[in-house]
A and B are shown apart, each in its own frame.
Chain A
Amino acid sequence: MNSLFFRKMVVALTGLFLCTFLIVHLSANFILLLPESMARELYNSYSTTLRESPLIKIIAYVLYAAILLHAFYALLITLRNRKAKPEKYVVNHSNENSTWTSQNMGLIGTIILLFLVLHLANFWARIKLGIGEEVGLDALGNRDVYEVAYTLFHNIYYVIFYTLISIPLGLHLHHGLKSAFKSLGFYHKKGLQLLAKVSVIYAVIMGVGFGIIPIIVYFK
């Protein structure tokens, strides 16, 4: 169970789960772009529904586990891979045979992980754990999560940071999505060609989507 293949399987499966999660996450975030009168109530009632659903509670734990396992096993793989190439080339033009992203998934992943710590501190810790500044209630008595996002994205530094981080996110997703399928053994030739295109579309939607929401909210 500790074979290299098993580790790759864990990273691929958790990666695909996280890819699916991001679709739901981004879809919900689009509510933030509606006019405020609609957005606040809709977003708050949506997040209350999520918090109170027993099914979502289970999925939330799966999500935490997926993030930790993905990072942990990716780290194990990276350390072992480094050991497999102890001496580097004096001259290496790897950009001529592969993309920069594919050569630096570990670095990009680490940047995203660091962002995630801040992101969880911004939202999850305040809303779910009640750490930090208290979150108020809206007119319907739901926790005012919209206000948390609205306030955060009226701080220009956070807007810039959240927008910039969507670039490594998009790159990571582009390489990760198509590679996960190959790691799991998907080798249908036409299917892989389609998958390559789907990965680009998916990564662009995720990158642009998550990147543009803070900007639009800032100007609201």
Chain B
Amino acid sequence: MKVIFKIWRQEGPNEKGTIRDYEVDGLNEDMSFLEALDHLNELLVLKNEKVIAFEYDCREGICGQCGVFINGRAHGPHDNITTCQLHMRSFKDGDTIVVEPWRAASFPVIKDLIVDRSALDRIIEQGAFITAKTGTAPEANSILIPKETADRAMDAAACIGCGACVATCKNSSAALFTAAKINHFNSLPQGKAEEHKRVAEMMFQMEIEGFGSCTFTGACEVECPESISITNIAEMNARYVKSKLLK
């Protein structure tokens, strides 16, 4: 299988980047997308050229490290998967594949396809945890949580922080990410004690990091590898109003 990669190359944060073409032969359709990039990098090493920098860790769709914009979609042409779950069988022999880094003012490019997503970490630092000491793992049923509530919290907690929501959003809004983190904690009894402070501070951080507003295009929930529903954003808004009223 042969494809033409058009890949964003950028030496460093302050360098000017550009799209470069790479014709790559010898791929097969069972390769994951990242393996195809590995293959290309091996060819570049043999030619004594600089390899393409891209991020990955688990390569099984759970860590949220990999993430690039492929042919106009976050994580490639399919809905709700990570880049490592994308395989070359999704492309045809001879296809041109455009690969770009996540684009957002809050995600500056570090090198090639790698962006700095620490803005998301700083949102988490504002309250996506509970301050109480929990000790060792307690008996699971010592705090009774209705199944429905546990499921909702788990659905939100599934967020792996890959940043596809920000990348695909025309406003670079981090609302889906922040909402998932807030709703995860605020819907559980352990998170209740600090619920209002959490909403206010995490949403404030989201704002000062330079992310845009949510205008409900719905793109984020289509690209989210964990299928986190956009309803979470409406729920976060409700929590924010409640936190202001009860302050």
Counting CB contacts under 8 A, is B218 at the interface? yes
B225-243 contacts to A (CB < 8 Å): 230-235, 237-241
Counting CB contacts under 8 A, is A128 at the interface? no
Contact B218 A98 (CB under 8 A): yes
Known: A84-B173, A94-B72, A94-B219. 14 other contacts (CB 8 A): A4-B207, A5-B203, A77-B215, A81-B215, A84-B171, A85-B104, A85-B171, A92-B69, A97-B218, A97-B222, A99-B217, A102-B218, A182-B233, A186-B234
With the chains together, A189 CA to B214 CA distance in Å? Answer: 18
Counting CB contacts under 8 A, is B161 at the interface? no
The 18 listed contacts between A and B (C-beta, < 8 Å) are: A80-B213, A90-B6, A90-B8, A90-B98, A93-B72, A94-B168, A94-B219, A96-B77, A97-B218, A97-B223, A99-B217, A99-B218, A102-B216, A105-B215, A182-B233, A183-B234, A187-B232, A187-B238
B93-131 contacts to A (CB < 8 Å): 98, 100, 103-106
With the chains together, A54 CA to B238 CA distance in Å? Answer: 36
Counting CB contacts under 8 A, is B61 at the interface? no
Counting CB contacts under 8 A, is B29 at the interface? no
Counting CB contacts under 8 A, is A3 at the interface? yes
Contact A89 B213 (CB under 8 A): no
Residues of A within 8 A of B104 (CB): 84-85
**A interface, over-half SS:** helix
What's the least CB distance linking B101 to chain A, in Å?
A: 9
Q: Select one of B8, B170, B231 contacting A94, CB under 8 A.
A: B170
What residue of chain B has the Cβ atom nearest to residue A183's Cβ? B237
What's the least CB distance linking B14 to chain A, in Å?
A: 14
Counting CB contacts under 8 A, is B185 at the interface? no
Counting CB contacts under 8 A, is A192 at the interface? yes
Contact A98 B217 (CB under 8 A): yes
Contact with B along A81-112 (1 / 0, CB 8 A): 10111111111111011110011010000000
Counting CB contacts under 8 A, is B11 at the interface? no
Residues of A within 8 A of B203 (CB): 3, 5
Q: Select one of A97, A102, A175, A186 contacting B168, CB under 8 A.
A: A97
What's the least CB distance linking B149 to chain A, in Å?
A: 14
A177-203 contacts to B (CB < 8 Å): 178-179, 181-187, 189, 192
Counting CB contacts under 8 A, is B35 at the interface? no
Residues of B within 8 A of A186 (CB): 234, 238
With the chains together, A12 CA to B77 CA distance in Å? Answer: 33
Counting CB contacts under 8 A, is B212 at the interface? yes
Counting CB contacts under 8 A, is A126 at the interface? no
The interface on chain A, measured as residues whose beta carbon lies within 8 A of the other chain's beta carbons, has a size of 39
Which residues on B are within 8 Å of A, measured CB to CB? 6, 8, 19, 69, 71-73, 77, 79, 98, 100, 103-106, 168-173, 203-204, 207, 210-219, 222-223, 230-235, 237-241
What residue of chain A has the Cβ atom nearest to residue B231's Cβ? A187
Contact B234 A77 (CB under 8 A): no
Counting CB contacts under 8 A, is A7 at the interface? yes
What's the least CB distance linking B82 to chain A, in Å?
A: 15
What residue of chain A has the Cβ atom nearest to residue B229's Cβ? A189
Contact B73 A4 (CB under 8 A): no
What's the least CB distance linking B224 to chain A, in Å?
A: 10
Residues of A within 8 A of B219 (CB): 94, 97-98
Among A8, A93, A185, the one with the most B-chain Cβ atoms within 10 Å of its Cβ is A185
Q: Select one of B103, B213, B231, B239 contacting A81, CB under 8 A.
A: B213
What's the least CB distance linking A213 to chain B, in Å?
A: 30
Among A5, A84, A87, the one with the most B-chain Cβ atoms within 10 Å of its Cβ is A84
Contact A84 B210 (CB under 8 A): yes
Residues of A within 8 A of B239 (CB): 185
What's the least CB distance linking B32 to chain A, in Å?
A: 21
With the chains together, A144 CA to B230 CA distance in Å? Answer: 50
With the chains together, A65 CA to B204 CA distance in Å? Answer: 28
